[in-house]
Structure 1
Amino acid sequence: MNQYPAQLPPPIVLTFAASDPSGGAGLQADLLTIASLGCHPVSVTTALTVQDTVGVASILAVEADWVEDQARTLLEDMPVAAFKIGLMGSAENMQVIAEIVADYPSVPLVLDPVLASGRGDELADEEMIATLREMLLPLTTILTPNSLEARRLADEDQGDEALTLDECAQRLLAQGCQYVLLTGTHDNTPRVVNSLYGRESGLLRSDVWDRLPGSYHGSGCTLASAVAAHLARGMAARDAVQSAQDYTWQALAAGFRLGMGQYLPDRLFRLRAHDRLRNG
């Protein structure tokens, strides 16, 4: 009997995220992105949402005990190569997740601090932000905030409106992150500038991307998940960040509008391009 040759299994990325029934952001975005980059995604559902491509109507956080049981069961069974964290739903969930990932200090952690939806719906209160600062930032390998999130996380006193983005990055690094990838998608600039800062060396790289027309649902989830997937495959932080940005920009450029709101990134753009070439 012929047997298939032995193959190494794909690296595993564990994502903590809320379910998005539109498939644009959250858990669904993470799974698509991680799988499309050659990793095996496993997941812990932190919250259920009622949302579409226009915005978020409501959130129901999963109980912290359920979050912990989901994660511990997976981690006792499978070797995880990277963690990715998105919307956590409650301060209690943040505490539990921090306790879990702290048990795996050698596993890189990418944290996307989801504080509001693209429409501006508030997704995190002040207690959650304080918990994130205190318990999760010190465990984070790469933090991926946009400029609005960076200012909100860095300004603990909520009064220092004059903070520059460089100063925000330095404050976040001082709180324990190894790297901060500060994205410029929310800035009023002709092109998008994303900057990577490191704890030891300050600004490590800036990447400039053409600003695409329209707005996109799930771009931040896509970028953070892509970074986590590349770290899981053994890339160094700088290379993982560059490759993840390239993937995300291409997914956005190939995006489509399925509903009445934002465009959705096409995380399977490579597969569809291959099909188009094959079909002539």
Structure 2
Amino acid sequence: MTINRNDPNPPLVLVFAAADPTGGAGIQADIMTLAGMGCHALTVITALTVQDTAGVEDVLAIDADFVAEQARAVLEDMPVQAFKLGVLGSVDNIAVIAEIIADYPHIPVIVDPVVASGRGDELASDAMLETLCELILPQATVITPNTMEARRLAACRAPAHADPEAGTQSDCAAVLMEMGCEYVLITGSHAHTPQVVNTLYGSGGVIRADTWERLGGSYHGSGCTLASAVAAALAHGLDMPQAVYEAQDFTWHSLAHAFRPGMGQHIPNRFFWARPPDETGV
């Protein structure tokens, strides 16, 4: 990705997300990813979590008024090139964030719809998903669900008699775009396939499908990394297809250089580029 070295200020990306004490996921992952791709992160904490590399034990949502105050303070001071949304913490937080981003319709909105942790711990209630679908997705430039998240979100607008598990990936993408998303990037990390296939959908159908080597192990914060990398690439001025490719490439290399500091999942190394290549040249 080409970065404009003539501009003394890096692109600014405002992130709404929860804090992760491990630094593997959440707002810490967003900060490192954005820095690794030449952006500066502005951060609004939506929730505090108790978690380790194995899973999430508890979530404490920040008061919605305080979330709004955090965001308004930086938005009134600095120009923002992109919004990135992760774990939002509560229905009230989702509603207030929807109001904030509505005031800046020219700024792209990248949504990582985190439904659960890698272990399966719930991070979004049905009420939160309904509110996300009603208030946030109509404003989303791109949403980055895995296959499981795409089905669960699509079920929010599916007929009562429908089985969301029976819908194809393209069906889910179509439903999400009917909600108002401009683009949908569905990742294949949860699919039982030899390789990971990530597919970007637009109003005309599939825009691009990229195939990546499936790496062994389990990763803490891979979805946060991908969504923040998309936000960074868009903030640098890339068009959506190229931004999505650059983000996937950054994320894959972060995972390929991941480390395992604890007893649970591996943590992506978002500064892989600062280390000399190993014998494989990865």
TM-score (norm 1): 0.94
User: Is residue 2:128 matched to residue 1:128?
Assistant: yes
Q: Which amino acid aligns with 1:51?
A: Q
- Partners of 1:170 and 1:203 in 2: CA distance: 10
Paired residue for 1:179, among 179, 183, 206?
183
- Partners of 2:124 and 2:246 in 1: CA distance: 29
Which runs of 5 or more residues in structure 2 are unaligned?
Answer: 1-5
Q: Which amino acid aligns with 1:263?
A: H
Q: Which amino acid aligns with 2:236?
A: R
Q: Which amino acid aligns with 1:188?
A: H
User: Is residue 2:201 matched to residue 1:197?
Assistant: yes
User: Is residue 2:266 matched to residue 1:232?
Assistant: no
Q: Which amino acid aligns with 2:270?
A: R
Q: Specify the alignment match of 1:93 in structure 2.
A: 93
Paired residue for 1:263, among 260, 263, 266?
266
Paired residue for 1:167, among 167, 171, 184?
171
- Partners of 2:276 and 2:61 in 1: CA distance: 38
- Partners of 1:272 and 1:99 in 2: CA distance: 42
Structure 1 residues 7 and 178 mapped into 2: Cα distance closer, same or farther (>3 Å)?
Answer: closer
- Partners of 1:28 and 1:243 in 2: CA distance: 20
Q: Which amino acid aligns with 2:172?
A: C
1:8 CA drift (Å): 2.6
- Partners of 2:188 and 2:70 in 1: CA distance: 34
1:155 CA drift (Å): 1.2
- Partners of 1:137 and 1:7 in 2: CA distance: 32
User: Is residue 2:70 matched to residue 1:47?
Assistant: no
1:193 CA drift (Å): 0.3
Q: Which amino acid aligns with 1:254?
A: H
Q: Which amino acid aligns with 2:201?
A: Y
Q: Specify the alignment match of 1:253 in structure 2.
A: 256
Deviations 1:202-249 (A, max 9, x none): 111100000000010000000000000000000000000000000000
Q: Specify the alignment match of 1:153 in structure 2.
A: 153
1:162 CA drift (Å): 1.0
- Partners of 2:19 and 2:166 in 1: CA distance: 36
Q: Specify the alignment match of 1:28 in structure 2.
A: 28
- Partners of 1:53 and 1:162 in 2: CA distance: 32
Q: Which amino acid aligns with 2:116?
A: A
1:7 CA drift (Å): 4.8
SS of equivalent to 2:81 = strand
Paired residue for 1:241, among 241, 244, 266?
244
- Partners of 1:256 and 1:245 in 2: CA distance: 19
Runs of 4+ off more than 4 Å: none
Deviates further, 153-162 or 33-42: 153-162
Q: How many residues in Structure 1 have an aligned counterpart in Structure 2?
A: 271
TM-score (norm 2): 0.94
